[in-house]
Amino acid sequence: FLYFPETHGISFRIHINVKELLDTDVLLKLLFHLPVNYPSTLPDISVNSDQLTRAQCMDVKDKLLEQAKKHLSEPMVHDLILWVQQHLKDVIKQSATVCNKKPALSKGTEDGIWMLLLHLDHMRAKAKYVKTVEKWASNLRLTGRLMFMGKIILILLQGDRSSIKEYLILQKTSKVDVDSGGKKCKEKMMSVLCETELQSQHKRFQTFEIKEYSALEELQKEFEVAGLKTLFSEFVPPLLK
């Protein structure tokens, strides 16, 4: 898929098969996000593969970013893809062996667990929008809440940092809603209130749920139970003004 958001640069996915790797074909799913000032700024890269562990995917990503630094200020995506096809074997040899199981939801990865709080201005096609957010959260193994209180719409997510980044790209670049004329449109009115590593006092959400609250106190309680009292008081009251 190729997206051209006006202000966020370009995002695209590339799926490549790397052969002869311990007698297994490895399907690599690469997500590149090229910032507006690319190639003088490095791209964001996300690496996923059902045949590799989370740690191996992180290794591949780190190595790709190392390569990207060598090509700074010249278009590099094509070179990076060629590089990964030629060197995947070596990168993975340094990690554990290839497994065909999907990685389980791990308690902690090299990146730790991250948390994201988003504010949406509105949802015109609410049912479709909610379904899309649920699907993304499930695909990226993110937990948290989609919260409605009066006109306030918040999305609180927890998961691997790379999944959080990929979620943000999807949210910014996919046609998730409809405009006033009923035509599909991208999310232009979203703000990232907070993106941070989960601290020991924060509780992990085990599931992703959609919740409606009738009063601010109820919403505040949801945050407090999760050990996120400061997050609430810093970001939510200003939205009421």
Each residue's pLDDT tens digit, 29-76:
998 888 888 888 888 899 998 888 888 898 899 999 999 999 998 889
CATH number of the domain residue 158 falls in:
3.30.70.100
Q: Does 148 share its domain with 38?
A: no
> Does residue 60 belong to any structural domain of this protein?
yes
In the listed set 41, 62, 96, which residue is the last one of a domain according to the structure?
96
Q: Specify the amino acid at residue 169.
A: I
**Which tens digits make up the pLDDT trace of 160-184?**
989 999 999 888 888 888 788 888 8
Q: Does 79 share its domain with 138?
A: no
CB atoms < 10 A from the CB of 171, how many? 21
Q: Does 136 share its domain with 176?
A: yes
Q: Could you give the number of structural domains in the chain?
A: 2
The most confident of 8-12, 102-106, 132-136, by mean pLDDT: 132-136
At residue 138 the predicted structure's pLDDT band, cuts being 50, 70 and 90, is: very high
> Does residue 101 belong to any structural domain of this protein?
no
> Does residue 50 belong to any structural domain of this protein?
yes
> Does residue 210 belong to any structural domain of this protein?
yes
DSSP-assigned letters across all residues of 57-106: HHHHHHHHHHHHHHTTTS--HHHHHHHHHHHHHHHHHTS----SSPPP--
| DSSP letter, residue 103 | P
Q: Does 75 share its domain with 190?
A: no
Q: Does 142 share its domain with 226?
A: yes
> Does residue 107 belong to any structural domain of this protein?
no
Is the pLDDT assigned to residue 231 strictly greater than 60? yes
> Does residue 106 belong to any structural domain of this protein?
no
Q: How far apart are CA 12 and CA 33, in angstroms?
A: 7
Q: How far apart are CA 44 and CA 24, in angstroms?
A: 28
Which residues are CB-contacts of 74 (< 8 A; sequence separation ≥ 6)?
A: 39
Q: Does 119 share its domain with 233?
A: yes
Q: Is the torsion defined by CA of 148, 224, 235, 215 positive or negative?
A: positive
Q: Using the CB atoms, write b or e for 57-90: b if 16+ within 10 Å.
A: bbbbbebbeebbeebeeeebbeebbebbeeebee
Of 46, 35, 53, residue with least CA distance to 80: 46
Supply 48's token pair. 């996923």
State which residues form the domain around 181: 113-239
CATH number of the domain residue 86 falls in:
3.10.110.10
Of 4, 30, 122, 5, residue with least CA distance to 84: 30
- Does the predicted TM-score (pTM) go above 0.95? no
Contact present, 205 and 114 (Cβ < 8 Å): no
Q: Specify the amino acid at residue 6.
A: E
Strand-pair partners of 158: 115, 143
Contact present, 214 and 148 (Cβ < 8 Å): no
Q: How far apart are CA 181 and CA 160, in angstroms?
A: 37
Q: Does 41 share its domain with 118?
A: no
- 41-55, 94-108, 141-155, 210-224: least confidently modelled range: 94-108
Q: Does 133 share its domain with 229?
A: yes
Q: Does 123 share its domain with 212?
A: yes
